């Protein structure tokens, strides 16, 4: 068990204790913690992971190799405790070494942004530079480097907002780079030395702060007592910042500190913290537990462990589940998808979560583990009300098991939002339709953004079941669906708009499946 964090920042080794661990990464950088001095190139414009001005690259060692894989991350909503055994590279750290002349210090993305007039006020620019580097890093994973397409370029930069340029010049900068190789960061920094240092630290748990020693063994059947949160003196039971390295340690710690926050990507936690809705002192990080790193298809069932990030799932489902993959590419931003996870999203229980309607119609099952054992819960039973879950205080979601649709299943997933990318949905819907010839054999429908939880639409399902698959039938089902939901009016849309969307999506779905849509989805 280690009692401090170890990470690298622009090639320099940093160690941090409990007080610095709960800072956001951007605070750590901008306030000049450690030996780095103030690194103010990482800008804060929204503090909620929605503009990308704070984008940094975070390198993770590849097991058994002398290299790191870098991904973009929003530093404003990431915490320092997530950086253990990572290499953080900021805009100050991508360029040439300080001894080089200013002219040669610019990297190709930086140079391209200068030449293409990619900056105006400059505030978002470091974030774009880092996102371009992120694209280059991803492209450099292929041998030979494959570059990126126009679509990949646009999606790769969709996590960064700019108010001045109108983006065209930034795209031009990005395109000018597609053909050439941007030197990967592993050439800029001594990856072997960093990896060796991390390897030497080993796969041990880390615990920072906390007011008493970790408990020995499982609590003796005292779950009920433990659930009485208020009976516990928060200070006396603080588990501090805990980064377990095994599932056993995770569950044991969870049982002892049921009020601790389980954190995977912190993409929602960071926002709440910046809005000063919560304070962070009692945390369990789930992303370093190998048992939770499961991402595979077994006997036609997709298993996604709690430590699997959205971007890994996105890549994994590209051919496996194209409709799901397409929704995932519009989930948050690339930076958010690199941090956040499906299981975190499930636990967060937002009724407008983009992924959940699919898992409703696929009849996914959550696997929950605690020191008492393991159990499975169908997803529709897991959600009992607005942010009310069938989850005991000592339980942890370890995995989501999803039966994959067979060839007979037509799967259509919809996300309607005010803006196409980097927006929270107004309405989400999933259609799972099995047809035999022109008749509907079975049908499952789910909608999000229309009530306190994602809901199935049983009346619409019943109306369609065993009927002919016609536009009229779908329209009629759409009208029924309206009556099954009770959406709210909020900043993302009026209740009437949501009702109309749900109704209309039935017809839209029909046209897409019938091949009569004028524009390919």
Partner 1 sequence: MPSSGKSLPHDSAHGHVTGGARYIDDLPRQAGELWVGFVGSPVASGKIRSLDLSEAREVPGVVCLLTHQDLGGPNHFGPIISDEPFLAEEALAYLTQPVVVIGATTLDALHAARQLVRIECEPLEPILTIDEALSAGSFIGPKRRMTSPGAEDDARFEAAFATAPHTLSGRFFSKGQEQFYFETQAALALPGEAGDVRVISSTQNPTETQAVVAEALGLGMHEVVCECHRMGGGFGGKETQSAIPAVMAAMVARHTGRPARVVLDRHDDMLVTGKRHAYQTDYRVAFDESGRLLAAQMAFYSNGGAFADLSTSVMERTMLHADNAYYVPLMRVTGQVCRTNLPPNTAFRGFGGPQGVAVIENCLEDIARVVGRDPIDVRRTNLYRDGDPQRSVTQYGQIVRDHVLAEIVAELEASSDYRRRREAIDRFNATSQTHCKGLALSTIKFGISFTTKFLNQANALVNLYTDGTVQVSTGGTEMGQGLNTKIRQLVADEFGLAPERVRVMPTTTEKNHNTSPTAASAGTDLNGAAALEACAQIKARMQSYAARLLENTERGLVAAAEHIVIDDGWVYDDRDPDPNNRIEFGLFCAMARRERVDLGARGFFATPGVDYNRDTGRGNPFFYFTTGAAVAEVTIDRFTGELVCDRADLLMDIGRSINPGVDRGQVIGGYIQGVGWVTNEDLCYDSAGRLLSTGPTTYKIPNITDTPRVFNVAFKDNPKHQKNLRQSKAVGEPPLMLGLAVWLAAKNALGSGSDAKVCDLAIPATGEELLNRIEALSSRKPVLIARS
Q: Would you say 39 or 191 has its CB closer to partner 1?
A: 39
How far is Cα 327 from Cα 448, in angstroms, rounded to an integer? 13
Residues 351-390 that bind partner 1 (CB under 8 A): none
**Which 253-272 positions form the footprint of partner 1 (CB under 8 A)?**
271
Find the binder of partner 1 among 77, 162, 336, 379 (CB under 8 A). Answer: 162
Q: Which residues, 84 to 103, sit near partner 1 by CB under 8 A?
A: 90-92, 95, 102
Among 4, 13, 67, 154, which residue interacts with partner 1 (rule: CB under 8 A)? 154
Beta bridge partners of 442: 434
Q: Which is nearer to partner 1, 161 or 391 (CB)?
A: 161
To partner 1, the closest distance from the beta carbon of 148 in angstroms equals 14
Nearest approach, Cβ of residue 56 and partner 1 (Å): 11
* Stretch 8-37 residues interacting with partner 1 (CB under 8 A): 30
Length reported for the chain = 521
Nearer to partner 1, 1 or 514 (CB): 514
Of the candidate residues 9, 256, 445, 501, the single one contacting partner 1 (CB under 8 A):
501
519 binds partner 1 (CB under 8 A): yes
Nearer to partner 1 by Cβ, of 307 and 416: the residue is 416
Contact 156, 182 (CB under 8 A): no
In the bound complex, what is the minimum distance in angstroms from residue 89's beta carbon to partner 1? 12
Of 117, 228, 387, 439, the one binding partner 1 (CB under 8 A) is: 117
Q: 230: which DSSP letter?
A: G
Q: Which is nearer to partner 1, 67 or 511 (CB)?
A: 511
> Nearest to residue 208, comparing CAs of 168, 182, 238?
238
Rg (CA), the chain: 24
Residues 394-433 contacting partner 1, CB under 8 A? 414, 416, 418-424, 426
Looking at 36, 106, 380, 473, which residue binds partner 1 (CB under 8 A)? Answer: 106
Nearest of 408, 389, 403 to residue 304 by alpha carbon = 403
Q: Least distance to partner 1 from the beta carbon of 211, Å?
A: 21
Backbone φ/ψ region at 248: left (φ over 0), alpha (ψ -120 to 50), beta? alpha
Choose which of 26, 42, 205, 237 interacts with partner 1 (CB under 8 A): 42
Between CA 518 and CA 320 the distance in angstroms is: 26
Query: Which letter does DSSP use for residue 203 in this model?
Result: S
- Integer Cα distance of 486 and 80 in angstroms: 41
Minimal distance, residue 118 CB to partner 1, in Å: 8
Interface pick for partner 1 out of 1, 114, 193, 225 (rule CB under 8 A): 114
Interaction mask 46-85, partner 1, x per CB under 8 A: xxx-xx-x--------------------------------
Secondary structure (DSSP) of 153-190: HHHHTTT---SSS-SHHHHHHHHHHHTSPPPPHHHHTT
Task: Please say which residue, 159 or 244, places its beta carbon nearer to partner 1.
Answer: 159
Least distance in Å: CB of 23 to partner 1? 12
| In the complex, least distance from residue 351 CB atom to partner 1, rounded to whole angstroms | 16
**How far, in Å, CA of 43 to CA of 35, rounded?**
19
- Cα separation of 176 and 112, whole Å? 7
* Long-range CB pairs of 488-493, under 8 A, 24+ apart, other chains included: 492/352, 492/417, 492/418, 492/424, 492/425, 492/426, 492/449, 493/418, 493/426, 493/427
Distance CA 432, CA 465 (A): 12
The span from the CA of 117 to the CA of 191, in Å, is 33
User: In terms of CB distance, is 90 or 311 closer to partner 1?
Assistant: 90
Smaller CB separation from partner 1, 118 or 344: 118
251 touches 276 (CB < 8 A): no
Nearer to partner 1, 91 or 243 (CB): 91
Instruction: Please state the closest distance from residue 344 (CB atom) to partner 1, in A.
Output: 17
Shorter beta-carbon distance to partner 1: residue 255 or 339? 339
State whether the Cα torsion 366-367-368-372 is positive or negative.
positive
Q: Report, in Å, the least distance between residue 68 CB and partner 1.
A: 21
Indicate the SS3 state at residue 477: helix
Binding string, 453-492, against partner 1, x = CB under 8 A?
A: -------------------------------------xxx
Number of residues that bind partner 1 (CB under 8 A): 86
Sole binder of partner 1 in the list 164, 192, 315, 320 (CB under 8 A): 164
Structural tokens at position 45: 């414009």
Count CB atoms within 10 A of the CB of residue 11: 15
163, 318, 387, 436: residue in contact with partner 1 (rule CB under 8 A): 163
Enclosing H/E stretch for 37: none
H helical segments located in 179-309 = 185-188, 191-201, 223-227, 247-256, 269-274
CB 281 within 8 A of CB 238: yes
Contacting partner 1 within 176-205 (CB under 8 A) = none
């Amino acid at each position: 068990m280690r009692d401090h964090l170890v990470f690298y920042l622009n090639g320099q080794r940093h160690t941090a204790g409990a007080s610095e661990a709960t800072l956001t990464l951007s605070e750590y950088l901008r306030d000049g913690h450690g030996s780095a001095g103030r690194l103010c190139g990482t800008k804060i414009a929204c503090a909620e992971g929605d503009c990308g001005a704070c984008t940094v690259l975070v390198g993770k060692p590849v097991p058994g190799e002398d290299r790191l894989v870098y991904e973009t991350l929003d530093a404003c909503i990431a915490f320092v405790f997530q950086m253990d055994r990572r290499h953080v590279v900021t805009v100050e750290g991508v360029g040439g070494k300080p001894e080089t002349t200013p002219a040669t210090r610019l990297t190709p993305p930086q140079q391209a942004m200068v030449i293409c007039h990619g900056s105006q006020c400059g505030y978002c620019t470091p974030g774009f530079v880092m996102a371009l580097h992120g694209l280059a890093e991803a492209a450099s994973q292929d041998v030979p480097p494959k570059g990126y397409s126009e679509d990949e370029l646009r999606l790769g930069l969709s996590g960064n907002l700019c108010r001045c340029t109108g983006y065209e010049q930034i795209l031009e900068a990005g395109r000018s780079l597609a053909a050439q190789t941007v030197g990967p960061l592993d050439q800029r920094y001594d990856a072997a030395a960093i990896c060796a240092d991390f390897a030497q630290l080993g796969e041990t748990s880390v615990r920072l702060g906390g007011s008493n020693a970790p408990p020995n063994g499982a609590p003796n059947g005292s779950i009920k007592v433990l659930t009485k949160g208020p009976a516990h003196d928060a200070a006396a039971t603080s588990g501090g910042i805990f980064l377990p390295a095994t599932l056993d340690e995770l569950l044991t710690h969870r049982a002892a500190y049921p009020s601790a926050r389980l954190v995977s990507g912190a993409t929602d936690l960071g926002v709440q913290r910046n809005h000063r809705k919560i304070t962070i002192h009692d945390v369990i990080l789930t992303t370093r537990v190998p048992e939770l790193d499961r991402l595979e298809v077994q006997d036609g069932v997709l298993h996604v462990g709690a430590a699997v990030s959205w971007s890994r799932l996105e890549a994994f489902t590209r051919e496996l589940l194209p409709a799901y993959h397409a929704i995932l590419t519009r989930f948050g931003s690339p930076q958010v998808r690199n941090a956040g996870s499906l299981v975190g999203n499930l636990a967060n229980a937002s009724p407008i979560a983009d992924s959940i309607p699919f898992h409703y119609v696929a009849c996914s099952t959550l696997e929950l583990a605690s020191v008492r054992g393991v159990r499975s819960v169908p997803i529709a039973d897991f959600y009992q009300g607005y942010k009310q879950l069938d989850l005991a205080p000592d339980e942890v979601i370890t995995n989501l098991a999803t039966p994959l649709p067979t060839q007979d299943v037509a799967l259509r997933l919809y996300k309607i939002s005010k803006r196409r990318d980097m927006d929270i949905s107004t309405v989400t819907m999933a259609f799972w339709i099995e047809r035999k010839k022109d008749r509907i054999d079975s049908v499952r429908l789910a909608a999000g953004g229309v009530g306190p939880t994602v809901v199935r639409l049983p009346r619409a399902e019943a109306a369609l079941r065993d009927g002919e698959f016609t536009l009229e039938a779908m329209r009629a089902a759409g009208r029924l669906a309206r009556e099954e939901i009770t959406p709210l009016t909020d900043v993302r849309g009026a209740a009437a708009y949501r009702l109309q969307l749900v109704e209309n999506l039935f017809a839209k779905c029909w046209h897409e499946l019938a091949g009569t849509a004028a524009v390919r989805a």
